[in-house]
Amino acid sequence: MLNFYRAVIESVLIYKETLRLNKVVKTASRIIGRELPSLEILYQQRLLGKATLISQ
């Protein structure tokens, strides 16, 4: 049941929240007049930074 929850329900919830949060980022971008990175890009940058720190 836990695997089902993580594979189906949790992934749908995260996807929907990501869409909503990216809309907030786009709105903020328009308000301040500057392009902001999406949540996916921020996540990738931070993940890469942490991996680099760990591997050193």
pTM (2 decimals)?
Answer: 0.70
Parent domain of 7: 2-55
Count of the separate structural domains present in the chain: 1
How far apart are the C-alpha atoms of 8 and 25, rounded to whole Å?
26
E strand segments, the chain: none
Question: What is the pLDDT of the chain when averaged over all its residues?
Answer: 92
pLDDT digits (tens, 9 = 90+) for 28-48: 999 999 999 999 999 999 999
Matching residue, tokens 């990738």: 44
The confidence band for 52, taking pLDDT boundaries of 50, 70 and 90, is very high
